Amino acid sequence: MPEHTPVLELSHVSVAYRTAAGPVQAVNDVSLVVMPNEIVGLVGESGSGKSTMAYAIMRLLRGNAYVSGGSIRVLGRDVYAMGRQELRKFRWRHMSMVFQSAMSALNPVITVETQLVDTLRSHLPNMSVSEAKDRAANLLELVRIDPVNLKSYPHQLSGGMRQRVVIAIAIALEPELVIMDEPTTALDVVVQRSILDRLQEIQADKRFSVLFISHDFSLVSELSSRMAIMYAGRIVEEAPASSLSSIEGHHPYTEGLLRAIPKLTADEITIKGIKGHPPDLVDLPVGCAFHPRCPRAYEPCRLFRPEILATESGRVECHLFAEKEVL
Amino acid sequence: MRYLLNRFLFLILSLWAAVTINFVLPRMMPGNPAGIMFAKFQGKLTPSAIKALEAAFGFNHKPMIVQYVDYVKGLLTGHWGLSFTYFPTPVTSVIGSSLPWTLGLVGLSTIISVIVGTALGILIAWRRAGLLDSILPTTLMFLQSMPAFWVAFMLVYIFGFMLSWFPMSHAYSDMLTLAPTIPVAFSVLYHAVLPGVTIFLTSLSGWMIGMRNNMINTLGDDYVVFAEAKGVPAKRLMFTYAARNAILPQVTSFAIALGNVVSGSILVEDVFSYPGIGYQLVTAVTNEDYPLIQSTFLIIAAAVLFANFLVDVLLVRLDPRVRTGGAGA
């Protein structure tokens, strides 16, 4: 795969949920590109559409959710143009996902080994069982779990170990893209740190791309090279992670998130929250969805949805920036 | 292993409790069987004959504790008393000749119903909202809503009386003597069709709908979605990942159903005059045959307990979480 072909290419993707009150847009006109060997962070509050986005990329949307517009390409191939068997073979071979609820992502009645072997042999039918078992042991070692645990059932492992097993399953076929949907949210910070450190080492070695989804702003900014900030189903800003060390020059929502991070080394610790609550997706505010909570909102924000504007290093969706250009 | 030993000890303890209650209850009732027998003969019995009857039925005026020890000894050595109805046949031989019929008929139809119902449940959940899923639940629910004895009457009326396709009663033809021969086996199967179909039809929907609902819940579980994502082929996904987990609550219901095998089909056996334990119980109650009633109850209690033990063993095989006693490792 040439270096300049994006691993993941989202263009104008919208995802809606069918409800009794009509379709509700959970993801609205999202465009995003992930290049090879790149870690991109996707941050937003609960309900901003991050997980829905992840499931849409994997074509795992269930029940009443459906992609209502745009295209999703992985390695240049349209995920939604594939046949059922084609999709089964493509998924996990080229793109995989670590679930938010890794605690419940493992089948409780079969061993860890069987679940790893299933993953391998579903895609590599020529691989013998003993080969697959050897490979399973290697994978566990890779995520720092003693292979004696191969014969364990999920309930015999701690939460952190289960999450490592899920990561091992996700990287089993060495896919080009791994989506991590809040992979460590359910774990305590010490376990979280050790898993993320290991993950970075493995990523540096295998050079797969990662779309890292989290609500933890500082965690993502530390891991990723580029970040997309999601609000009410839209990406309101995309910027290099390095630019997020300064509060100035960002979307007011991003600014708010940055101010909410406690600076533990500062003389005086000040944390400022963002007033109000995330909007109801059924009844989005007219104009910019963020305007009711925005300290700098003015007339146009209440009337028109802002255009996507290119900044020096990324893009932003805010009227304030349009004005800057005019000035 | 420790878990199984635990369950086994529990089985022994509950059996003992059942035996004890079975001993205490009749002794709390006024009168005794010998008195009833005496009344039956309308004063034609001499006092010495009553004494003899009391001795035969095991009634005496020894202290309770001694009676209790004698009773338990009698149970263990096969002296369960004599039936009034079939006097002087021992209760054990009455039960011995009726229990196999019930186990065979009701047990087999229940097991077939469980297997077919569970398989249908898996199928219609997998093809949710398909053609079968819209037809089967309603149809079978309609069947289940009818009382078993009524379905039995209808089957007897249509297929036994009107069409004469199947015999209307008994377990095998009156022309044959019971022996392990091919004509007898054929006759037994032939006679079992109508009662078997009755039990099968009236219990099928419970198994199917139960499994369908478990399965639909399980299909939404993360580990099934995760397995689908990692590319597990459809068949393995359906059985090893979804059905394998969805079946666990079914196993528990199965335990309850197995326990009900002995007692649960009294009405069906009665309609078909099927010589099973349910039919025998009805006869015993009508004839105030205390020893037989008591022993039948004991058999029913034991059946429930054994069925539960068997299912505990089965659950250990099916659910690794049970092996550690639920406490985690």
Listing DSSP states for B190-217 in one string gives HHHHHHHHHHHHHHHHHHHHHHHHHHHH
Of the partner residues B222, B231, B245, the one whose CB lies closest to the CB of residue A92: B231
Least confident of A11-15, A314-318, B18-22, B171-175: B171-175
Cα gap B145→B265, rounded to integer Å: 16
Q: Does A220 lie in the same domain as A143?
A: no
B245 contacts in chain A (CB < 8 Å): 107-109
pLDDT given at position B326: 44
Flag whether B43 is in a domain: no
pLDDT for A67: 94
Look at residue A302 and tell me if it is in a domain: yes
Give a yes or no: residue A101 inside a domain: no
Coil/strand/helix, residue A11: strand
Query: Does B275 reside within a domain?
Result: yes
Q: Do A169 and B230 touch (CB under 8 A)?
A: yes
Residue A283 lies in a domain: yes
The reply to whether A304 and A164 lie within a common domain is: no
Cβ-Cβ contacts under 8 Å, A99 against chain B? 222, 225-226
Question: pLDDT at position B58, please?
Answer: 61
Q: What is the pLDDT of chain A when averaged over all its residues?
A: 89
What is the CATH classification number for the domain harbouring A64? 3.40.50.300
Chosen domain end from A119, A153, A174: A174
DSSP SS3 for A174 = coil
Q: Give the integer Cα–Cα distance in Å for B276 and B283.
A: 11
Q: Which of B24-33, B84-93, B205-214 has the lowest mean pLDDT?
A: B24-33
- The whole-angstrom separation of Cα B207 and Cα B317 is 21
Over the stretch B147-190, which tens digit does the pLDDT of each residue have? 888 888 899 899 988 898 988 888 777 777 777 788 888 888 88
Residue A225's alpha-carbon distances to A238, A240, A295, A313, in angstroms, are 11, 6, 28, 12
Q: Which of A174, A195, A226 is the last residue of a domain?
A: A174
**Between residues B50 and A275, the one the model is more confident about:** A275
Q: Is B274 part of any domain? A: yes
Domain count, chain A: 2
Q: Do A62 and B318 touch (CB under 8 A)?
A: no
- Name which of B229, B244, B319 is nearest A60 (Cβ-Cβ): B229
The pLDDT value recorded for residue B57 is: 63
Do A242 and A316 fall within a single domain?
A: yes
Q: Is B185 domain-assigned?
A: yes
Separation CA A158–CA A141 (nearest Å): 16
A122: nearest CB among B226, B233, B244: B233
Average pLDDT estimate for B244-252: 91
Per the model's pLDDT, the better-predicted residue between B70 and A236 turns out to be A236
A248 is a domain residue: yes
pLDDT tens-digit map of B193-217: 999 999 999 889 899 999 999 999 9
Residue of B nearest to A111 (CA): B320
- How many residue contacts between A and B have a Cβ separation below 8 Å? 78
| Pair A203, A305 in one domain | yes
In-domain check, residue B316: no
Confidence band, pLDDT 50/70/90 cuts, at residue A256: confident
Q: How far is CA B21 from CA A238, B7, B26, B298, in A?
A: 76, 21, 9, 9
The proportion of chain A whose per-residue pLDDT surpasses 70, expressed as a percent, equals 96
Looking at residue B328, what is its pLDDT? Answer: 39
Q: For residue B292, what pLDDT is reported?
A: 86
pLDDT band at A326 (very low <50, low <70, confident <90, very high): very low
Q: Do A108 and B222 touch (CB under 8 A)?
A: no
Of A224, A157, A222, residue with least CA distance to A191:
A157
In A75-156 the beta strands, taken as DSSP E runs, fall at 77-78, 95-98
Instruction: Determine the Cα–Cα distance for residues B329 and B313; give it in Å rounded to an integer.
Output: 20
Residue A29 pLDDT class (50, 70, 90 cuts):
very high
Find out whether B211 and B245 touch, Cβ atoms under 8 Å: no
Query: Looking at beta carbons, which residues of chain B come within 8 Å of A91?
Result: 229-231
Domain count, chain B: 1
Paired tokens of B94: 């009455």
- Residue B305 pLDDT greater than 50, yes or no: yes
Kindly state whether residue A102 falls inside one of the protein's structural domains: no
**Closest Cα of chain B to A92: distance in Å?**
5
Name the residue with higher pLDDT: B116 or B264. Answer: B116
Which residue in this structure is represented by tokens 């390095």? A242
Q: What CA–CA distance (Å, rounded) separates A289 from A47?
A: 14
Q: How far, in Å, CA of A221 to CA of A243, rounded?
A: 10
Structure tokens at B35: 């008195």
What percentage of residues in chain A have a pLDDT greater than 90?
58
Q: What are phi and psi of B148, to 5 degrees?
A: -60, -40
Is the residue at A103 inside a domain? no
For residue B298, tell me if it sits in a domain.
no
Residue among B110, B105, B71 at smallest CA distance from B91: B71
User: Mean pLDDT across the stretch B255-279?
Assistant: 82
* CA-derived radius of gyration, chain B: 24
Same domain flag for A48 and A194: yes
Is the domain of A220 the same as that of A309?
Answer: yes
Structure tokens that stand for A131 in this block: 């080969």
Residue B273 lies in a domain: yes
Q: At A34, is the pLDDT very low, low, confident or very high (cuts 50, 70, 90)? A: very high
Looking at the fold, whether A148 and A185 belong to one and the same domain comes out as no
**pLDDT at B327 > cutoff 60:** no
Q: Which domain holds residue B172?
A: 101-287
Separation CA B187–CA A102 (nearest Å): 58
**β-pairing, A234-240 with A226-231?**
antiparallel
Residues A221 and A299 in one domain: yes
Segment B35-42 shows an average pLDDT of 70
Summarised one tens digit per residue, pLDDT across range A286-301 is: 889 998 898 888 888 8
Question: What pLDDT is stored for residue B9 in this prediction?
Answer: 93
In this prediction, residue A131 carries a pLDDT of 94
A209 within some domain = yes
Asked if residue B121 belongs to a domain, the reply is yes
Does one domain contain both A161 and A228? no
Q: Which residue has the higher pLDDT, B177 or A161?
A: A161
For residue A142, the model assigns a pLDDT of: 93
Interface test with A, best of B217, B221, B226, B241 (most A CBs within 10 A): B226
> Which pLDDT score is estimated for A2?
54
Task: Please tell me which residue of chain A has the smallest CA distance to B128.
Answer: A63
**Do residue A167 and residue A303 come from a single domain?**
no
- pLDDT at residue number B11: 92
Query: What is the rounded CA–CA span in Å between residue A305 and residue B69?
Result: 90
- A47 and A185 share a domain? yes
- CATH number at B164 reads 1.10.3720.10
pLDDT at B42 over 50: yes
Containing structural domain, residue A142: 108-174
A119 contacts in B (CB within 8 Å)?
A: 230-232
Q: How many angstroms separate the CA atoms of B66 and B70, rounded?
A: 6
Establish if A26 belongs to a structural domain: yes
A47 Cβ partners below 8 Å, 6+ apart? A278, A281
What confidence tens digit (pLDDT) does each residue in A132-149 have?
A: 999 999 999 999 999 999
Q: Which residue has the tokens 């001795």?
A: B55
Tell which residue, B160, B233, B228, has the closest CA to residue B190.
Answer: B160
Pair A261, A300 in one domain:
yes
Helix (H) or strand (E) holding A167: helix A159-170
Residue B272 sits at φ, ψ, to 5 deg, of -90, 5
Range A55-76 average pLDDT? 93
Domain boundary among A133, A148, A174: A174
